[in-house]
Amino acid sequence: MAGSNTETRSAGQALTDKELMKVAETLGREWEQAALHLGLKTKDLDDIKAEHRTVAMQKQNMLVLWKRRRPPGEATAQDLLEGLKDMEDLPVETRQLLRASMIPDNQSEPMFHAKQMVAVILLV
């Protein structure tokens, strides 16, 4: 049943727009650099900036564009992390969020746990 509490998220599933939004929230000024690492072009960034006034929406739409251009089945958290692996400035929270979403968890939403884990690490 779609939307039921027993539905599980496979580690190999494509990231949802909601999950991409959570990833976008972890990115800071380096989001444009991330876009280039993911294969987007400067023209893509210019178009995104022209269409969306807020940086939050720009980051979200950059990730949605990346997902849209990926072959079917290749827009997973693992694929996104792989595309960003050489990016030195990638925030720790972004890495943690993507790594946590690669672990199947039928009890709850994996990305939520990653945020909690990062918050605890930052408090220590």
Q: Give per-residue pLDDT as tens, 25-39.
A: 999 999 999 999 999
**Percent of residues, the chain, with pLDDT higher than 70:** 74
Give SS3 for 9. strand
pLDDT in tens, 79-104: 999 999 999 999 999 999 999 988 77
CA–CA distance, 114 with 100 (Å, rounded to integer): 6
φ and ψ at 122, to 5 degrees? Answer: -70, -25
Residue 117, pLDDT score: 54
CB-CB contact of 96 with 118 (8 Å)? yes
Q: How confident is the model at residue 7 (pLDDT cuts 50, 70, 90)?
A: very low
Average pLDDT rounded to a whole number, residues 56-74: 96
Q: pTM of the prediction?
A: 0.76
CATH among 1.10.533.10, 3.30.342.10, 2.60.120.330, 2.160.10.10 for 17-123: 1.10.533.10
Write down the domain spans for the chain: 17-123
Residue 1, pLDDT score: 38
CA–CA distance, 102 with 91 (Å, rounded to integer): 17
Distance, first Cα to last Cα, the chain:
40
